[in-house]
Amino acid sequence: MIRRSVLLGTGSALPVRAVSNAELAQTVDTSDEWIVERTGIRNRYLAGEGETTATLATDAAKAALEAAGLSAQDIDLIVLATATPDQTFPATATIVQAALGIDDCVAFDVAAVCSGFLYAVTVADSMIRSGAVRNAIVIGSETFSRILDWEDRTTCVLFGDGAGAVVLGAEESEDGQRGILASKLHADGRHNQLLYVDGGPSTTQTVGKLRMKGQEVFRHAVTNLASVLTEVMAAADMSPADIDWLVPHQANARILDATARKLKLAPEKVVMTVDRHANTSAASVPLALDLAMRDGRVQPGDLLVLEAMGGGFTWGACVLRV
Ligand code: UT7
């Protein structure tokens, strides 16, 4: 028998306040034309009072549990990917655990910025396949609006807030055709000054603001994503022609287009949400996945490829049959 982590349900949550490019252009020296042409972004959601990484994560987790038909007490593991935790500690995952009413389970955060959800899924999958746990909630949740420098137009127009979650569960089968078939993760810390936050508890004792050399990140993103996608497809013994849906990290529509071209994948097979959510870092892949599940694009049996690249640099990809 082959034990795999299968996708049981997805959920997501967005802040109440939607902010269009035009609204942003009232306070930032930018324009709707520039943002749309360079990034594909038209809208983002920004957290307001009472909305935090933990509250968004909790709402996304509840929706995913409902979709999975499980109760909170069925959950053995919560892995939450974020670069914007509610507090330095405890882990935001434990705040979500308490909010869900789970008395005892494993709960921790993963910090891999925009690739955080891929890292979190891979860790949860390893723990499920090893037999350590049976059911896991994996969450990507961010409130990047709180670490943006609103005076820096080269970064503040690019990001938004939100959360996405999946419930993964163990399934034993003869053929192992369903669930997470392969995943690959990478990091290269030599580039950590191209995308970082200029503060932290052990250095400045402040939270800091996001800093990015966008053009250089862009170049690395296209190269690294193409290479990890080739690697993960080979590991799953699949070819790009087998892909039903590419669910990418939503940093820039031009990166998504370039990645699809490199894979010779039709643009209609790429789930694109950057126009409505902007870049929500670790939340972007599960937000896009939840959207494509709920609008009926993703059907049972479909082959999905998830990918992301971000600060660190970190990057990764995962092949999943629904
Ligand atoms: O999620 C983690 C991964 N992150 C990414 O993958 C982000 C990757 N990078 C990018 O998406 C793009 O590099 C950006 C969208 C950040 C920037 O696009 P670009 O085409 O590389 O623009 P640029 O930085 O070369 O800037 C072009 C011009 C500059 O003006 P000059 O020097 O040509 O006169 C900028 O000052 O655009 C100007 N500019 C703006 N203009 C209006 C920069 N930001 C803005 C703005 N509004 N918000």
Nearest CA to ligand 1 atom 12: 214
Q: Which of 21, 43, 105, 114 is catalytic?
A: 114
Contacts of 226 (CB under 8 A, 6+ apart): 259, 262, 263
At 305 the pLDDT is 98
Per residue in 246-297, pLDDT tens? Answer: 999 999 999 999 999 999 999 999 999 999 999 999 999 999 999 999 999 9
Domain ranges of the chain: 2-173, 179-321
Confidence of residue 307 (pLDDT cuts 50, 70, 90): very high
CA of 39 to the centre of ligand 1 (A): 8
Domain 179-321 part of CATH 3.40.47.10: yes
Cα 228-273-287 angle, rounded to 5 deg: 80
Per residue in 141-158, pLDDT tens? Answer: 999 999 999 999 999 999
pLDDT, mean over the chain = 98
Determine the residue of 20, 154, 219 to mutate for testing ligand 1's pocket, defined as the one with the most ligand atoms within 8 A of the Cβ atom: 154
Q: Are 281 and 112 in contact (CB under 8 A)?
A: no
Mean pLDDT of 157-172: 98
Which of 3.50.30.30, 3.40.605.10, 3.40.50.1820, 3.40.47.10 is the CATH number of 2-173? 3.40.47.10
Per residue in 131-142, pLDDT tens? Answer: 999 999 999 999
**Are 2-173 and 179-321 in the same CATH fold?**
yes
Q: Is 279 a catalytic residue?
A: yes
At 303 the pLDDT is 98
The finding on whether 286 has its CB within 6 A of some atom of ligand 1 is: no
Per residue in 193-251, pLDDT tens? Answer: 999 999 999 999 999 999 999 999 999 999 999 999 999 999 999 999 999 999 999 99
Nearest Cα residue to 289 out of 256, 240, 322: 322
At 257 the pLDDT is 95
